[in-house]
Chains A and B, each alone.
Chain A
Amino acid sequence: MSIENMHVTRRSKASLIASFAAVIILVILISAPLWAGRADMRLMAELFLYLSLATLWNLMAGYAGLVSVGQQAYVGFGGYMLFSLTMFAGLSPVVALIGVAILGGLVSIPIAALVFRLHGAYFAIGTWVIAEVFRLTFAQVSSLGGGSGTSLPISIIKSMADGRAARESLSYWLALGVMVAVILAVYLFLRSRKGLALSAIRDNELAASSLGINIWRTKFLVYVITAALTSVVGALIFLQKLRISPDAAFSVNDWTAFVIFIVVIGGIGTLEGPIIGTLVYFLMRETLADLGTTYLIALGVVAIVIMLKAPKGLWGIIRDRWDLQLFPLGYRVQTTQSKKGS
């Protein structure tokens, strides 16, 4: 085989099949209100929102090296802002989502300036402390129910759509839409020039900086974008729940520990990893959650075994064994079946 009939491409058969499959799956998912029961739709919406959180955390930790343990700050902030914008500013929940994104991004700017002074483990702890400050602050706001929280008024819920079924469909579609938007946004960001710089920083910070890449600014941008999108996901989580309280909104377990679990077992630093991780997490949760403590022990054991035996996660195993890549981000050498004549 000579060099002429080899070529290098981002696409592979697998990534082409994957994009067709993604479109088909998307159509099936969009039509879920026609075929799925209410409980199933709620579960799927929750899965979409967890996948969004995991994809965003993966962008920060897996690509920008920012290991935050405080993303629940933005989940809770997003939830509370949705409630505030609808209850006090009279916005419809769907319009309020845009406001939530802007506010989430804005509030993250001074926080980034603060926590970016810390590195490594100190950064992780710093972000967690910030999230606790958020929790304590919102517990003081009596118009939002203080420490015991508040429910979304019936009039606002009813303003979303006519009838319960239509409301539930809308809220399901919003979750699906946000998931697609988050995955597409992260994918396009990684393929852009900024994303190139981010990969360069992850590969070699010293070389990247001596080529004129401002490391601080690139990481700052990632942090703010992630905060804005995480806030929107948080808003949708509490739009599903219709009730918010400081402990639920700023829960480190629900919005960060499980998300880290998902990304680590799926494969950090890959776009496919969070998808696999989310599916595994929900599979375990739906089958084992009734076992109570045993379920949490099982989660812990799975995490430990994967970290020890397959540090690149489940997707790492799959990719190494079958050389698969669903999102065409890397390159591969291919042989062309000589179509251009013999």
Chain B
Amino acid sequence: MADQVLKTHNLCAHYGDFQALFDLDLSIAEGEVIAIIGANGAGKTTLMRSIAGLNSNNAEQIVYRDEPIGALRADQVATKGIALVPEGRQLFPSLSVEENLIIGGRVGRKGPWNLKALYQLFPILEERRNQPSTSLSGGQQQMVAIGRALMANPDLILFDEISLGLAPVIIKTIYDALPNIIDDGMSAVIVEQDISKALAVSARFYCLQEGRVALEGDSQTVEREAISRAYFGVH
């Protein structure tokens, strides 16, 4: 198996007083795309927040390229090369589209992504570059959120609820763009409610249920029946 870019060891995390993750073990190989699926409240977003440094954990619970990062702050995690496309996009409303993207490039990592490359990927953003980010449609805002994360030239990109609340045609545009994004050996974690979309773009998947891994496996060969059982916790 290829080198692991990220591993979690017995990862536990809390959402307020509520324990959202229990002893989670998962791994992502270099250049691999994995999907995290599961029902609402299964702990998907808490997992993303923990990896991105927005929840604090014990250092050894999250290891990035042999380096324990569980205890680092979010901005330190970002400079290591992990970028988050947060749920609900979380753009900066008082900044323009281009300023949102420029903020993403602040960590100053070298790589293929810059404003020019992004405008090639999502030409609509170049047309709208000077508009306030809030004046864009939901799908265009999602493109800004993805672009903002790519501007950091991450080695690992985390997509949280990438298609939530978007029109099907926009979801298709964004999924069509994904292979171009991940092409350069970037690893990716995709959190998605739409199971068939998630399985189609990923090599492996983890299905979470109430904060634990209920099922993991190969995205292409897994039986739908098995996923349904893991998803809803039917034994």
Contact = CB atoms under 8 A, between A and B. Distances in A.
A199 B78 CA distance: 19
Q: Chain B CB within 10 Å — which of A9, A202, A207, A331 has the most?
A: A207
B95 A212 contact: no
Contacts of A199: 92, 94-95, 99
Given A199-B92, A330-B132, A210 B103 contact: no
Contacts of A193: 102, 106
A200 B91 CA distance: 9
A212 B54 contact: no
B180 to A, nearest CB: 21
B19 interface: no
A215 B75 CA distance: 8
A331 B131 contact: yes
B194 to A, nearest CB: 24
Interface in B169-221: none
B94 A206 contact: no
Q: How large is the interface on A (under 10, 10 to 19, 20 to 34, 35 or more residues)?
A: 20 to 34
Contacts of A207: 86, 90-92
Given A9-B130, A331-B132, A210 B95 contact: no
A8 interface: yes
B103 A197 contact: yes
A206 B132 contact: no
A210 B102 contact: no
Contacts of B149: 211
B233 interface: no
Q: Pick from B83, B84, B94 the residue with the most CB of A within 10 Å.
A: B94
Contacts of A196: 95, 99, 102-103
B130 to A, nearest CB: 4
Interface string A208-250: 1111111100000000000000000000000000000000000
A191 to B, nearest CB: 10
Contacts of B152: 211-212
Interface in B58-80: 73-75, 77-79
B114 to A, nearest CB: 15
A206 B90 contact: yes
B53 interface: yes
A202 B92 CA distance: 9
B88 to A, nearest CB: 10
Contacts of B54: 206, 209-210
A213 to B, nearest CB: 6
B94 A330 contact: yes
Contacts of A330: 94, 132
B104 interface: yes
Nearest to B92: A203
Nearest to B135: A333
Contacts of B92: 199-200, 203-204, 207-208
Interface in A161-208: 193, 196-197, 199-200, 202-204, 206-208
B166 to A, nearest CB: 18
A9 B53 CA distance: 36
Given A196-B103, A197-B106, A210 B78 contact: yes
A200 B95 CA distance: 8
Interface string B91-116: 11111100100111011000000000
Contacts of A210: 52-54, 74-75, 77-78, 83-84, 86
Nearest to A209: B74
A213 B86 contact: no
Contact of A211 (B96, B106, B130): B106
A62 to B, nearest CB: 12
Nearest to A218: B75
B7 interface: no
Given A9-B130, A193-B106, A211-B104, A203 B75 contact: no
B73 A209 contact: yes
Contact of B130 (A197, A209, A331): A331
Contacts of B78: 209-212
Nearest to B129: A8
Given A200-B103, A212-B106, A331-B132, 6 more contacts: A9-B130, A209-B54, A209-B74, A210-B83, A210-B86, A330-B132
Interface of A: 8-9, 193, 196-197, 199-200, 202-204, 206-215, 330-331, 333
19 contacts: A8-B130, A193-B102, A196-B99, A197-B103, A197-B106, A199-B99, A204-B90, A206-B74, A206-B86, A207-B86, A209-B75, A210-B54, A210-B86, A211-B83, A211-B152, A212-B78, A212-B79, A213-B75, A215-B75
Shortest beta-carbon contacts, A-B, top 3: A212-B78, A212-B107, A8-B130
